[in-house]
Structure 1
Amino acid sequence: MTPPPRRPTVAADPDTTAFVRPYALTRGRTRPRYRLRLESVMHPGTGRPGPGLPEECGQITALCRTRPRSVAELAGTLGCGLTPAKILISDLMAAHVIVPGAGGASDPDQALLLRLRAALTMKWLDE
């Protein structure tokens, strides 16, 4: 029996090899610790991220320190999907690195967030 033909080797593209599977980011977890809505706005907290957190947690922390951000905005900026983003945000909330806001003048427009939530829910039906 002859072996199958070898596939030609292709040089690794850095853009495609840097992809990390969502379950690797969340260490296999599929549910966040806290129930987060798409329009929940995260503010910086007083805690510090612990060792061993993915680099995306550092990105979330930096984004929230520049200005409050919604869960949907954080997930979109990270590009890792809504559920993995919620899990990472929950990890940071547990360490008090970020906290949900009570809704203030600096928060994003509520009507805009509701429209965004409706559109994302229709597309992905995550909740």
Structure 2
Amino acid sequence: MTPPARRPAVAADPDTTAFVRPYALTRGRTRPRYRLRLESVMHPGTGRPGPGLPEECGRITALCRARPRSVAELAGTLGCGLTPAKILISDLLAAHVLIPATTSDLDQDLLLRLRAALTMKWLDE
């Protein structure tokens, strides 16, 4: 019996290998430092992202500077999943790059409707 044929090694094409594993973005972390809800809205803060943060943190910062965004919207825009997005947002909160909106800044009825719609689409982690 002959062993199965091995596939030849193929060099990775950078245009087709743009996917980054979530654990690589979060350096193996599986839980955010802060408890963030789907509807939590992030505003830009006074800090700057450090050199050790992934480039997605720069994208999050730029999106929030354009206008305040919810955690769910940031995760959807990044396309990296909810938990990795929460971990990256937590890193930015710790560096004072982002600040969460206070409840007095937001319409409570709008938040309740938004939360109901989002939890039907995604499970709150």
Cα deviation for residue 9 of structure 1 reads 6.4
Assess, with a 3 A threshold, how the Cα gap between structure 1 residues 5 and 116 changes in structure 2: closer, same or farther.
farther
What SS does structure 2 have at the residue aligned with 1:14?
A: coil
Assess, with a 3 A threshold, how the Cα gap between structure 1 residues 120 and 104 changes in structure 2: closer, same or farther.
closer
Cα deviation for residue 98 of structure 1 reads 0.6
| Gaps in structure 1 of 5+ consecutive residues | none
Cα deviation for residue 52 of structure 1 reads 1.1
Cα deviation for residue 5 of structure 1 reads 1.6
Percent identity, aligned pairs only, is: 90
**2:50 aligns to what?**
50
Give the TM-score, by structure 1 length. Answer: 0.81
Cα deviation for residue 51 of structure 1 reads 1.1
Assess, with a 3 A threshold, how the Cα gap between structure 1 residues 107 and 7 changes in structure 2: closer, same or farther.
farther
Give the TM-score, by structure 2 length. Answer: 0.82
Equivalent pairs, count: 125
| Gaps in structure 2 of 5+ consecutive residues | none
Assess, with a 3 A threshold, how the Cα gap between structure 1 residues 107 and 80 changes in structure 2: closer, same or farther.
farther
Assess, with a 3 A threshold, how the Cα gap between structure 1 residues 2 and 97 changes in structure 2: closer, same or farther.
same
**1:18 aligns to what?**
18
- Equivalent pair of 1:68/1:106 in contact (CA under 8 Å): no
C-alpha distance in structure 2 between counterparts of 1:126 and 1:15, whole Å = 33
Assess, with a 3 A threshold, how the Cα gap between structure 1 residues 73 and 110 changes in structure 2: closer, same or farther.
farther
What SS does structure 2 have at the residue aligned with 1:43?
A: strand
